[in-house]
Amino acid sequence: MKFTKTLLLGTAAGLMAASGAFAADLPVKAKAVEYVKICSLYGAGFYYIPGTDTCIKLGGYVRADLNLGTNSDFNPNQSGTAGARNRMMNYYTMRAREDLNIDTRTATEYGVVRTFFEGVFTWTSGNYTPTGSGTGATQYSGTLGLNAAGTGLVGSGSGNVNSTDGNTSGGALGVYYAFIQFAGFTMGKAVSQFDAPWTNYPGNITDNLVGGSGTVTGVNQFTYTADFGQGVTASFSAEDTTQYYQAGNLNMTGATAGGMLGGSYGTNAIGGSRSPNLVAQVRVDQAWGLFQASVAAHDNHVGYYGATETTGHPDDKWGWAVQLALSIKNIPTGAGDTINIQGVYTDGATRYNFQNLSGSSYSLFGNSSSAGAYGSVGFANAPDTVFVTGSSQETVKTWGFRGAYTHNWDAYWNSALYGAYAQAQFGTLAKTTLCGAGGAGGVFGGLAGVTGCNPDFAIGQMGIVTRWTPVKNLTFSADLSWTHLDQKYSGTVGIAPAVTTAKPAATYELKDQDSIAMILRAQRNW
């Protein structure tokens, strides 16, 4: 018994000694995991990046669009193959898109340092274009791989594979915004300081409205904004002109009647970049709404009259634009109802009215009741400036407006009625060259059957959109829009249209044209 007791005590002592030795060999206990913390400094959705004092917010959306009466994305059928409005045009366009945005903010002794990025991954139906005359051969071009700015083709292919690499991937990656904000400065790709806060969307979802500027995918800029308190700010900006703000500097010496019918009034002779657009803006943003005044200066820099330096060139011509915008919130018709309106005038800076997504070149075919006419055609073009070999640049003047009234029926439904209008006016040089003195000569005015010749024109647009949000951040929309081309040519003309339209050589009535388009959308924000 004594032996047994001694054995047990010895074994226990050995185990305790071994246990102590093992414990000495174990690693030190790991520190507790540093969980992500909510950052309440900049609103909902921000979190601290672990181990830093920088706050980050992720967001975006997934969107599916079905566009009816369009040949590519949202734009109506206004020129080229789409303008033929026959069996050669697309009757619908489909698009799927994923948007991702990243917002970071850090408090410093100089104020908040902010970075913002927004990019989109997009898949869009191909843009149908004939490949030849009389062969029946067609293809879907690479436009499906373009982002809203018309750049960034990722897919590849030809023939009838809808411009994809075997229909397995493709699509496009687009950069909307990428900028830094620090001590009042904004540096990078951001909404133009000239734009109203709603850019192209006073209440609609279609993005092709005339009547104001709208860089919905941002423009490269260096901007300083002074904040005077009480919602009053002023901004001064140098913004890139090359991507969105060149409507054309046309040498009309190369103009032809056939080119004019296709929406081209000469040879585009834009030179290399010389100066960014200079923009200033004053804004009052308060509980009642918003008022903003913007001005911009745009340098029209032309290359040469001909193919070489020895042909000479016109001097630069500065254009300008001014815009007023007003938003009225919480009007008596209902909680959250708003009215957004803006008006603009340009002189040699057309893209601040006929913005890049609306375009400023039109050539639309339609029916005709005129005896002897095969059909009808309406055409127009609004560049920044025009000239002829040996002359100075002559600016094109435009004015316009756009606006919308949005009403909330209840917490789930709202509708907006919207409209836009823009007019372009040419000077003496353009009218004399294209139409002759009194509208009876020149490139087009002297053609047989033409009874009126004037390059001035106007675009009118109206539409209505209704949205249903059955659950938070999921919205279904239907947007119906009408566009009217009010052109100033009259009579008839015998022409051979471009082969891409599949229109025969015949007599066509010169006539105003209308187009209708619809967007059906489902969008989930996150």
All domains of the chain in start order, with CATH: 34-525 (2.40.160.10)
Distance CA 17, CA 71 (A): 84
The pLDDT assigned to 344 comes to 98
Q: According to the model, what pLDDT value does residue 434 have?
A: 97
Residue listed under structure tokens 């009642």: 288
β-strand pairing of 385-387 with 289-300: unpaired
CA angle 19/21/22 to nearest 5° reads: 65
Q: Which of 155, 84, 167, 166 is nearest to 121 (CA)?
A: 155
pLDDT mean for each 10 residues of the chain (526 residues): 46 47 53 75 94 95 93 73 86 92 96 96 75 44 35 31 44 92 97 96 94 94 97 98 94 93 92 96 97 98 95 97 96 94 98 94 94 95 97 98 97 97 98 91 94 97 98 97 96 90 94 95 97
Helices H, strands E: what count in the chain?
5, 30
Residue 70: per-residue pLDDT: 81
pLDDT of res. 499: 83
Comparing C-alpha atoms, which of 51, 55, 25 is closest to residue 38?
Answer: 55
Nearest-angstrom CA–CA distance, 256 and 495: 12
Instruction: Name the pTM for this structure.
Output: 0.86
The phi, psi pair for 8, rounded to 5°, reads -65, -45
What DSSP element (H or E) covers 84? Answer: helix 80-84
